[in-house]
Chain A
Amino acid sequence: MGSIAFPLLLSFKIALIATAIALALGLWLAWVLANVAFPGKEWLDAVVTLPLVFPPTVLGYYLLVLLARSSPFGKLWESIFGQPLVFTWHAAVVAATIHALPLLVKSARAGFESGDPALLRAARSLGTGEWRIFWKVTAPLARRSILAAAVIAFARSLGDFGATLMVAGDIPFRTQTAAIAIYDAVEAGNTRIAGVLTLILSAATLLIVYGANRLERRI
């Protein structure tokens, strides 16, 4: 039973945390891309989009190099938390976040840019700070796009395979997510476990997307 429950719970845990991080990071990036003029802006957009078009192994390899124990970031992490980042479920969160980010940024940027620019100007002329404008005007008006972005981020985080496998590995009861467990089960000829995991994952994803669509129409 644990061989089904653990990967599922781990996947959802990773997806939830990754969605939260991706939302915070992605909304900020999207806002910057939509509102601030700076040189190299479209390059930043392109870099953010890369994970969408990279083969998962390329993305995974980049992350592996970036987060490895010998890398500056890896050393920093280890000095703070006392253990390496790679091949833990934390690394899977990083992979899922990066995997989720591009579509989230695209969707949120489109939402921010479709707003009436006169509203932003009005808010600024009223003496309002940017932070308050974001929370009181931009975000409420783009709430549909933001919700859609969050759902996409969650679904993408839940489904990541390649990058997660490369940075977090396939350690049963440690870093083995549902997507990886399905691959393992099929490899081992265990179609029952693969089938159950697939069904549960499908049903959960379907419910989330359906629920989000319902919610989107009401708000």
Chain B
Amino acid sequence: MSLSVRLTRNFRPAADSAGFALHVEFTAERGITVLFGPSGAGKSLTLNCIAGFEKPDSGRIMLGDRILFDAEARVNLRPRDRHCGYVFQSHALFPHMTVRENLMFAAERHPRLERHRLVTEMLERFALTEMAGRKPANLSGGQNQRCSIARALITSPRALLLDEPAAGLDVSLRSELSDVLKQVRDDLEIPLLLVTHDVDDAMTLADQVLVYTDGGIVQRGSADSIRTHPANADVARMFGPTNVLDAEILALDPGRNSSRVRINGTELNARYLPGHFRGDRIRMNARADELIVHGSRGENRMELRLERMLARANFIELRFTPELVVFAPRHDWEKFRDGREWYVEFPPDSLRPLGEA
């Protein structure tokens, strides 16, 4: 089963809101496709168009060999006919029904005899058997979430759409959700579309990432390839604090796969920069976790003043001037003193060219 989407949806500017235009095209095969990007970029709107809650202005949406929407052919299936499971951020469990009743409600399409067996199976699979008689208000956040996924799956959907299911959950529930989603991915041959603005979700779950900004997809690919080769400065910054640097190309040597660039007045070695010329001014990205801080001068090092140290959960965040951020291992905490000069090493692989933002 594969889902192919091409759609536009325009909102004209109104008194209380700026205009917005969504224009996306992508294909999602079986596995998890993460729609990643900042709030208001059009991720949820895309999901709502696929589910049939919003009508696109133009385009075509196909799930398997069925047309869900086609502007030209004037096809616009009702949400109930689209066979898309939808998991809402608010879970949207029916508050007046128990867990079991919520699942029974969704099992309506199955033959009467099968419903009980299906519901019992789902309850067991999602570890909900013990709270089957409880109403959503008396469940924990994780149980509510499992119930809402189970309810969506009991209809045997041909695609599963998840709108920020992890928003507002604590770390342990997030990892529980990841496990559930991985299990669903492995069990079912359907595309899963996961909307999130959380980097960790995107990194750990995605078979494919679509990076959204301002109503369009700016980059697509594996999470790893996007993290290591962000298309532009905006994408680079979505993965947390990072360095976007203005560089001047001093020399290019394709034979040795190397180049020499000047950043902040310091000359540094980088990999060869295809498609550029000597003298070009480009923007480069250097990830904070790939830079190394030393106490002395050396090859490919830039002298900087340490302004601020922040203890993060798993590393130390070092802020330098001219502006640069470096993540250093926690055990080096004692070593650093702010207000002093340090030498930051740029391994040649850490400097990557960026497209225009």
Contacts and interface: CB of A to CB of B under 8 A. Distances in A.
B94 A125 contact: no
Interface stretch (A7-15, A23-31, A68-76, A134-142): A134-142
Interface stretch (B82-90, B193-201, B269-277, B334-342): B82-90
A180 to B, nearest CB: 43
Contacts of B108: 126-128, 132
A126 B52 CA distance: 12
Interface string B114-129: 0000000000000000
Given A126-B152, A127-B155, A121 B96 contact: no
Interface string A89-132: 00000000000000000000000000010110111111111001
B331 interface: no
Interface in B4-53: 51-53
Contact of A127 (B88, B92, B93, B109): B109
Contact of A118 (B52, B79, B80, B92): B92
Nearest to A130: B80
B239 interface: no
A141 to B, nearest CB: 6
B96 A126 contact: no
Contacts of B94: 119, 122-123, 136-137, 141
Contacts of B95: 141
B229 to A, nearest CB: 36
B78 interface: yes
B151 interface: yes
A140 B108 CA distance: 18
A136 B105 contact: yes
Contacts of B86: 121-122, 125
Contacts of B78: 124
Contacts of A129: 80
Contacts of A136: 94, 105
A141 B79 contact: no
Contacts of B106: 126-127
Interface residues of B, number: 26
Nearest to A122: B92
Given A136-B105, A141-B96, A125 B90 contact: no
Nearest to B86: A125
A122 B96 contact: no
B105 A125 contact: no
A123 B109 CA distance: 13
A122 B89 CA distance: 11
Contacts of B151: 122, 126
A81 B170 CA distance: 69
Contact of A125 (B79, B93, B96, B109): B79
A121 to B, nearest CB: 5
B314 to A, nearest CB: 36
Contacts of B52: 124-125
A128 B88 contact: no
Contacts of B155: 126-127
Given A127-B108, A127-B109, A127-B155, A116 B80 contact: no
B105 A128 contact: yes
A118 B90 contact: yes
Contact of B92 (A121, A128, A141): A121
10 pairs of A and B residues whose beta carbons are closest in the complex: A122-B92, A118-B92, A124-B79, A125-B86, A126-B106, A127-B80, A118-B88, A140-B96, A124-B80, A125-B79
Given A127-B80, A127-B81, A137-B94, 14 more contacts: A121-B51, A121-B53, A121-B92, A122-B151, A124-B52, A124-B53, A124-B79, A125-B79, A126-B105, A126-B106, A126-B155, A128-B80, A136-B105, A141-B96
